[in-house]
Structure 1
Amino acid sequence: MNLSIVDIFIYCSTALVICISLFYAYAKYKLSYWSRRGVKTPPTHLIFGNFGDSLTLKKPPSEVLREIYNYADPDDPYIGFYIFHKPMLLLRNHDVMKQIFIKDFDVFPNRRFGSANQRDALGLDSILSIQQPRWKYLRNKLTVALSGQRLKNMFPLIIECGQPMLNFMKNLSMSSSNKTEVKELSGRYVTDIIASVIFGINATSFDEKKDAFWKNSLNIFYGFMRSMIMIMIFFIPEWIPLFGPTIKIYTNYFRKIFWDSMNSREKSGYKRGDFIDFLLTLKNEEQDPIYKFEGDHLLAQSASLLIAGIEATADAIAFALYNLARHPELQATLYDEIQTHISGKELTMDLITEMSFLDSVLIETLRLHPPLPIVDRIATRNYKLLSTGLIIEKDIPVYISINATNQDPKYFSNPHDFIPLRAETGNKKFYESLAFGLGQRSCIGKLQNFITRKRYVVIFSFPFYIHKCQIDIICTIIYLKFSGQRLGLLIAKVALITILSNYILDYEPSKKDDKGIIHVFTYAADGLYVQLKKREKGA
């Protein structure tokens, strides 16, 4: 049968129309998932759903989620949205968040982050994304590594990294422009600390001729391809196997650094009080088949703290310095507190815990600028939310937009202003912890370890004979006071104390400072710049 060009054109056109019609019908049905359940959604794109601006790199995911959050009515407990055609649920009510992330943890024990590829021992089979029940075993093992006593052992290593930063700042303050990008400053500083306490090496990040560790850590986060991979890992983990080689491309450098340190330490028997010492202990213990501390499983623990620690802590320091430069009266208050507590004394963890305004500055910084502005979980079975009757089906992800939640005028007056001494409200404790996650899968550095509390019960129960419940409350307070310094916050506090003891920060307004960059983490695309002025008497 001979077909003319016209016939071929007609057949092809008809086939194309049929395909487009079928796709349209399929897409419309998939994108009606939430409306069929009575859940409000923003207008959706037929292909990208509600995430087109992030997938096409027009806006960072945090801003897209903020817009979705704000599209809902003020009292809506949640709002539905789609990434391509997959339905997601964005929570908007504190009680609903606590219900899902804390009370019903057994239904939502896993993160969606990286959940599609648990076979990647180095990148996605670590504490960051590992699934239950292996997560609980690993968490119990690693929590000991960041106990209060171990942090005290690491504290001198943290203090040591302050001097290279001060030398670097001295050269900057003497330059003609005297304008410092504090994210780079804090990034180099935190990299030195992470390299020291987690990898057991001196990274020399402030020496541009010897800063290989710093430059390789930048490669993990920065660049067009890395931005795309980060968005994919957090929001489209099903695609991870397609980019496996690209994800692992920068691991060889850190693998060599890690094993050189481990092998040298094991051979010499030298104890430094850092994370390498702890991993050697795990390596030499009897192994449980559920998760064996060997090979890349050992490296994965250091790598996860590198990934979670450098960007999050450097962001917190940078935005805190930036906000203090913009508010000289708050900077003066913090300087006075620092001088009151440490003038003429050696800096210790116990002195740091007494600085309440320093706490408030960092908490408010994290409220306004959460380093990782999302929290996610995924349902392991169908779940009925009792307060609304909504059925969250198995494998449906739920998200919290931290920046949108913590800047909601429903919960905060003047939500976009930097006000460290916000009034104590029922919401304050909630947002203080939200930047570290929520529930049992929050940041491992929270250190709320029942075993440690129980130890204090034994110590204090004998001489006082207090009712058992009262003992537990008292001992929890004591424990949190002496051991509750999260590693990231401890590093940030030491940085602020070190810098403000020696320099005054000045701010010059710039229209570009608050512009976002396309990444999962919170960045200022054009940098966070302050001017440094040496104090007459540095500490």
Structure 2
Amino acid sequence: MAFYETVLVASLALWAIYKWLTIHNNEFKKRNIPYEKPYPAVGNFGKVVMNKESVHKTVLEFYKRNKTHKIVGFFNFRNPVYFINEPEMIKKICIKDFDNFPNHTPFINVDGDPLLAGMLSIMKDQRWKDMRNTLTPVFTAAKMRNMFPLMNECFSECIKNLKMQLPNGSCELEMKQIISKLSNDIIASTAFGISINSHEDPNNKFYNIGQTVTNLRGTQMLKAMISNVAPWILKGLGIKVFDQEKTDYFIRLVVDAMKYREKNNIVRHDMIQQLLEAKKESAQHWSDEEIVAQCFVFFFAAFENNTNLICAASHELMSYPDVQQRLYEECLEIKKELQDQPFNYDTGNKMKYMDMVINETLRKWSFAPLTDRVCSKDYKLTDEDNNLVFEFKVGDRVWFPISGLHMDEQHFENPDVFDPERFSDDNKGNIKPFTYIPFGAGPRNCIGNRYALMQAKAMLYYLVINCKLERSENTVKDIFDDMRGFNTSPIGGFWMRFVSRN
């Protein structure tokens, strides 16, 4: 009898788990929204979880299959979300009716973790608004201009190290290994106030911890998935997505630096200094952890994305020699203007073709393949003729498929082709609004876009001036097919041949 009771209890437990995992599966059917059938637990992210393809490809292929629908249902693991495929509706939700959709959905559960909960991208409602207002002056052109010399020190070390690897005038190298060290050193200097040379010391603590924090693969991806699907499991086991010892390391770095600077009246044009000043000038009483959180967010918003932006742009320059040559000619003109002075923020803003190359890279690669909002008030979405399209309820999650819009031939002719001319002065005005949103849209767009752009422009300038980029034996043939999971870089790496121009 005990055997049958055990089987019965086990069967009931499995049935209960299955019902819990699939409880929302009829959400779209009940609300008359087209959708694709999900798998238990993983939803429509099955291939991502099985490490067969990237989030980028999943979102893009889903968009291609369903772009005829203005709204289509997608299962983010067990949670239903509403894909908005119509640019005009994205504009309504993100800008015109922003008050109905003011917040993001945290990518992981942040309950009980004040550091993660304090990040600008995760903050909600008035608290987010207050922090956004506090941080906005930190990212002005003037502040970026002051910060640029710190970046230049890092660029100089990176190029110096790169040249040392070209003793015979050329060498095959993996670009991401070079640029991830550069990004690490820039973030260490500009966000955490410490000087590091990861090219000479690749095993430094800051770099190693930063790598593990940003790597959403293996065990960390599994914990992130459980946090998204069933946060109570991690809470019950006392497990956090990010190791406490590693997050404590960043907290100590920033808090100790702030205390030391205040005590010794030290001024350095970096993020900590800007945050210290913003904290003093703000009417809000920000805690040290909330200030640290804004530095910590750089590892999510800046480290991986900025690295991949430079790597992807380099890959495209390698693949399109005519584009590389034209950019090289523009860089030569700038070098002549600078007269042996270092590259600077204002110079970067003058480079029109560089802008076109960066914009086209952001279009084709879409490092954030989607952005999201959560409905905070019941809302009736209407079309351009004021006809009712859908009634959103409080708590409904909304996604905007950035990669789908960017790669849609209706918006960008021959989207697979890398063509910077799309963003020339003559052509950029023809781009339909809200079909190109690499940094998101509306009040919750990326606050650090100036920071990302100036880093990418400067590094590409130094790179193209010093090296010609060519294909090598290990160059991945199809980058997108070689990407996996939540990472926007190929498994095979960004291999290319660097040929010295000097």
Do both share a fold (TM > 0.5)? yes
Matches within 5 A, 1:483-522: 486-508=450-472, 509-511=475-477, 513-522=479-488
Distance 1:120 1:421 in 2: 46
Aligned residue number for residue 445 of structure 1 = 448
Q: For residue 299 of structure 1, report the CA deviation from its aligned partner.
A: 1.1
Residues 1:60 and 1:271: Cα distance change in structure 2 (over 3 Å): same
Matches within 5 A, 1:9-408: 9=4, 30-46=24-40, 48-72=42-66, 74-114=67-107, 116-117=109-110, 119-174=112-167, 178-208=171-201, 211-222=204-215, 223-231=217-225, 241=235, 244-249=239-244, 250-285=246-281, 288=284, 292-345=285-338, 346=341, 347-387=343-383, 388-408=388-408
Distance 1:506 1:27 in 2: 49
Is the 1:152–1:349 contact (alpha carbons within 8 Å) kept by the matching residues of 2? yes
Distance 1:321 1:60 in 2: 21
Residues 1:267 and 1:212: Cα distance change in structure 2 (over 3 Å): same
**1:304-339 per-position Cα deviation (integer Å, ceiling 9, x unaligned):** 123311111111001001110111110000011111
SS of the counterpart of 2:286? coil
Aligned residue number for residue 410 of structure 1 = 410
Distance 1:95 1:517 in 2: 31
SS of the counterpart of 1:66? helix
* Length-normalised TM-score, structure 2: 0.88
Is the 2:118–2:289 contact (alpha carbons within 8 Å) kept by the matching residues of 1? no
Distance 1:31 1:203 in 2: 49
Distance 2:214 2:359 in 1: 24
Q: For residue 76 of structure 1, report the CA deviation from its aligned partner.
A: 1.4
Residues 1:109 and 1:84: Cα distance change in structure 2 (over 3 Å): same
Aligned residue number for residue 465 of structure 1 = none
Residue from 477, 481, 498 that aligns with 1:532: 498
SS of the counterpart of 1:156? helix
Higher relative contact order (CA 8 A, sep 6+): 2
Distance 1:21 1:235 in 2: 17
Distance 2:102 2:476 in 1: 43
Q: For residue 239 of structure 1, report the CA deviation from its aligned partner.
A: 6.8
Distance 2:233 2:382 in 1: 34
Is the 2:77–2:229 contact (alpha carbons within 8 Å) kept by the matching residues of 1? no
Distance 1:236 1:103 in 2: 34
Q: For residue 401 of structure 1, report the CA deviation from its aligned partner.
A: 2.2
Aligned residue number for residue 523 of structure 1 = 489
RMSD after superposition:
2.8
Between 419-428 and 378-387, report the one with greater CA deviation: 419-428
SS of the counterpart of 2:194? coil
Consecutive unaligned residues of structure 2, counting only runs of 5 or more, are: none
**1:445-466 per-position Cα deviation (integer Å, ceiling 9, x unaligned):** 35xxxxxxxxxxxxxxxxxxxx
Amino acid at match of 1:416: D
Amino acid at match of 2:419: I
Distance 1:25 1:514 in 2: 35
Amino acid at match of 1:251: T
**1:392-419 per-position Cα deviation (integer Å, ceiling 9, x unaligned):** 2221111122212211122121111111
Is the 2:479–2:489 contact (alpha carbons within 8 Å) kept by the matching residues of 1? no
Q: For residue 372 of structure 1, report the CA deviation from its aligned partner.
A: 2.2
Consecutive unaligned residues of structure 1, counting only runs of 5 or more, are: 447-485
Residues 1:429 and 1:535: Cα distance change in structure 2 (over 3 Å): farther
Which protein shows a greater Rg?
1
Amino acid at match of 1:247: F
Distance 2:101 2:108 in 1: 13
SS of the counterpart of 2:91? helix
Residues 1:310 and 1:424: Cα distance change in structure 2 (over 3 Å): same
Amino acid at match of 1:183: K
Is the 1:287–1:293 contact (alpha carbons within 8 Å) kept by the matching residues of 2? no
Q: For residue 114 of structure 1, report the CA deviation from its aligned partner.
A: 4.3
**1:360-398 per-position Cα deviation (integer Å, ceiling 9, x unaligned):** 111111111122222011111222111243112221111
Amino acid at match of 2:240: P
Amino acid at match of 1:440: P
